[in-house]
Amino acid sequence: MSTEPLLHAFLVSFPAQGHVNPLLRLGKRLASKGLLITLSTPKVLSKQMAKANNITDDQLIPVGDGFLRFESFQDGWDDDDPRRAHLDQYMHQLELAGKPAISAMIKRYAEQNRPVS
């Protein structure tokens, strides 16, 4: 009996209150239906999430018939950088650092035979 690989959805959340939890709930719901869900946020936020929930990047967490995992990317700034308080500056930085980081993750998944569906 051959096992088909799970469909792989890649969710990217803005690192602010009110953004992560709804996307996490969506990810859990999709995973429960048999998908592999990767939720990605900048490292500054994933460090806080990991500390609060005892999770690590790329750890598969079973949810229903599928799996959820987290993978963070570096936004290019130190965790305590005061520019984070300025939305326009931070959005620009996320675009500069996030696009290539997320593209690299998606490429790496394809090379590992876990392509994003």
Encode pLDDT of 60-70 as tens digits. 999 999 999 99
Average pLDDT over residues 38-64: 78
Assign residue 31 the CATH number of its domain: 3.40.50.2000
pLDDT of residue 11: 97
Catalytic residue among 8, 19, 86, 92: 19
Clarify whether 19 is annotated catalytic.
Answer: yes
In a domain, 56, yes or no: yes
Question: Which residue range(s) make up the domain with 30?
Answer: 8-111
pLDDT at 44 over 90: no
In a domain, 117, yes or no: no
Percent of the chain with pLDDT over 70: 87
Residue 69 DSSP SS3: strand
Burial of 101 (0-12, 13-18, 19+ CB in 10 A): buried
Average pLDDT over residues 14-39: 93
Burial of 68 (0-12, 13-18, 19+ CB in 10 A): buried
Record the pTM.
Answer: 0.84
pLDDT of residue 56: 66
Asked if 33 and 65 touch (Cβ cutoff 8 Å), the reply is yes
In a domain, 29, yes or no: yes
Domain count within the chain:
1
pLDDT of residue 68: 95
Percent of the chain with pLDDT over 90: 61
